[in-house]
Amino acid sequence: MSLFVVTIDGPAASGKSTVARRVARQIGATFLDTGAMYRAVTWAAMQDGVDWNDQEQLAGVVERHAFAFEAADDAMLVCVDGIDITEKIRDPELTANVRYIASSGPLRAKLVEMQQALARRFGRVVTEGRDQGTVAFPDADAKFYLVA
């Protein structure tokens, strides 16, 4: 299967996810929700009780847990260690802690690897984030940047 990637980048609350879902639906692609991936790692870190300022502890979260992401209609099913946390990752307390994961260089690198692996598995993806077109998928077939 050949790889076809559309990236939609932009700042928070610019409508990236909404647009990405619609584009994915229109072109018959999988919506790769990178925000859900960051939230899943944040959930696992909260379960572990990590020190948000300890980069080594943060980086270890991805190694200690099994993350699974599946396409589900216009969303992504998110599991950690076999537990479906799709609904749990929208918790306001969790949302407030995502920034620690997003600002960790080693974790970002691991998440980019996971995103690339998922894209290869799904084949046709529309992905959204902050650096999808520059870091995760620099050779994407189409790149867009949204502003609010």
Please report the pLDDT score of residue 148 as a whole number: 72
Please report the pLDDT score of residue 1 as a whole number: 62
Paired strand residues for 77:
70
pTM of the full structure: 0.91
d(CA 108, CA 69): 17
Domains and CATH numbers, the chain: 4-145 (3.40.50.300)
Q: Please, is 28 exposed, middle or buried when counting C-beta atoms within 10 Å of its C-beta (0-12, 13-18, 19+)?
A: exposed
Amino acid sitting at position 142: A
Helix axis angle, 55-64 relative to 34-48, nearest 10°?
Answer: 110
d(CA 102, CA 41): 10
Please report the pLDDT score of residue 75 as a whole number: 79
Q: What is the pLDDT along the chain (148 residues), one digit of tens a residue?
A: 689 999 999 988 889 989 999 999 999 999 999 999 999 999 999 999 999 999 899 989 999 999 999 988 777 899 999 999 999 999 999 999 999 999 988 899 999 999 999 999 999 999 999 899 999 999 999 999 998 7
Q: Please, is 136 exposed, middle or buried when counting C-beta atoms within 10 Å of its C-beta (0-12, 13-18, 19+)?
A: buried
Please report the pLDDT score of residue 9 as a whole number: 95
50 by DSSP, 3-state: which? coil
